Amino acid sequence: MARYCIGVDLGGTYIKFGLLSEDMKPSGTFQLPTPKGGAGPVIAGMVKGARKLMADHKLTKADVVGVGVGAPGPMNIKEGIIIAMPNIPGIENCPMGRLVGRKLGIPAVLENDANAAGYGEYVAGAGKDRGDMVLLTLGTGIGGGIVVDGKVVHGAHDIGAEIGHLIVEPGGEPCGCGQRGCIEAYASASNLARYAISRFERAKLLPTALRQIHERKKKIGKELDMGDVNAARKAGDALAAEVWDRGAYYLALACVSISRLLDPNLIVLVGGMTKAGDDLIRPVTEHYRRLHWILTAPKTKIVLGKLGNDAGMVGAAGVAWAAFGGK
């Protein structure tokens, strides 16, 4: 009889659901809008989604080994408690995994969403059967997940793997976290786009297509993003090329430091900027090789994630397999 774990990934807009089989194959993914009104409605929404998933696939409780809930926000992993959730008001000191599990009558476990995404790529994505892995999520911020010897590294106070706050420029740009010079301040998609804007706004005569693109997007309530920058770079825009390369350089710098500390097999990049595919991996790898020590050849590979937005859900289910699968 096939057995499954259920993965639930709680986001500010949607909750994503899916199954993960014992051989780490995801299936049945769907999403529901995140209910408003705090912990009660959100938990009810998770239970509803999980029941729908089981009904759709004709699963009984006996078929489901466990439920993994991935969620943002500071949490106490050992106790399974969400401390706070900046994006979803009304959820504080909430043992969310346990509450969902109790309502379903299935064992449940809570995991940080970035760690879950890392573990998802590890068990079923780019990192499958590839050994120690570090994930970098390149979006508004930079998040991270670390898997060593098959286990998610949480840190002693559950604030490990905050790779976006590795300091790459001491005394550099202020970061939202209160530090200066974090990699997030230099290489997150939104901060890189902001850097591009600051460049052409400070130099009114600098010829760049980015200025027009930005002005055009502003009229429809949007902003220049790194997709625009990569497109302009490909069309030959010099500022766009410089900004894109700056991002690749800082990411590579972080990857070198990550390699010196953790020496993973893989560094997996996911998130908005990775839509550029090889346009991102190539310059990051080039800078990485250049910045890398000469004591050994570069051994850590920098690759794209494979699961897209499903990584967190898959990883949450993977964490449930690790917790309740009896392996």
Neighbours of 2 (CB within 10 A): 10
Contact between 168 and a copy of itself per CB under 8 A: yes
Contact between 261 and a copy of itself per CB under 8 A: yes
C-alpha to C-alpha distance for 32 and 37, rounded to whole angstroms = 15
Of 89-97, 209-217, 236-244, 251-259, the segment contacting a copy of itself by CB under 8 A is: 251-259
Phi, psi at 134, each rounded to 5°: -125, 135
Of 5-13, 17-25, 94-102, 176-184, the segment contacting a copy of itself by CB under 8 A is: 176-184
Contact between 269 and 302 (Cβ < 8 Å): yes
Cβ neighbours of residue 119 closer than 8 Å, sequence gap 6 or more: 111, 145, 147, 152, 315, 318, 319
H or E element, residue 300:
none
Q: Which two structure tokens, joined as six digits, stand for 12?
A: 């500010």
Contact between 260 and a copy of itself per CB under 8 A: yes
- Least spacing, CB of residue 305 vs a copy of itself, in Å: 18
Q: Specify the residue, 257 or 309, whose C-beta has the smaller distance to a copy of itself.
A: 257
Contact between 177 and a copy of itself per CB under 8 A: yes
Contact between 108 and 68 (Cβ < 8 Å): yes
Contact between 170 and a copy of itself per CB under 8 A: yes
H or E element, residue 249:
helix 238-262
- Least spacing, CB of residue 309 vs a copy of itself, in Å: 25
Contact between 291 and a copy of itself per CB under 8 A: yes
Q: Using CB under 8 A, which of 1, 62, 156, 235 touches a copy of itself?
A: 156
Q: Is 326 left (phi over 0), alpha (psi -120 to 50) or beta?
A: left
Q: Which of residues 1-30 bind a copy of itself (CB under 8 A)?
A: none
Contact between 74 and a copy of itself per CB under 8 A: yes
Neighbours of 204 (CB within 10 A): 7
- Least spacing, CB of residue 245 vs a copy of itself, in Å: 14
Contact between 114 and 145 (Cβ < 8 Å): yes
Tell how strand 108-112 and strand 64-71 pair up.
parallel
Instruction: Look up residue 290 and give its amino acid.
Output: R
Neighbours of 177 (CB within 10 A): 13
Q: Specify the residue, 61 or 78, whose C-beta has the smaller distance to a copy of itself.
A: 78
Looking at the DSSP bridge assignments, the partners of residue 246 are none
Contact between 148 and a copy of itself per CB under 8 A: yes
Contact between 127 and a copy of itself per CB under 8 A: no
Q: Specify the residue, 220 or 297, whose C-beta has the smaller distance to a copy of itself.
A: 297
Q: Using CB under 8 A, which of 6, 19, 82, 163 touches a copy of itself?
A: 163
Contact between 117 and 7 (Cβ < 8 Å): no
Contact between 157 and a copy of itself per CB under 8 A: yes
- Least spacing, CB of residue 256 vs a copy of itself, in Å: 6
Q: Using CB under 8 A, which of 221, 294, 326, 327 touches a copy of itself?
A: 294
Question: Residues interacting with a copy of itself, by CB under 8 A?
Answer: 74, 131-132, 144, 146, 148-149, 151, 153-163, 165-170, 175, 177-180, 253, 256-265, 291-296, 299-300
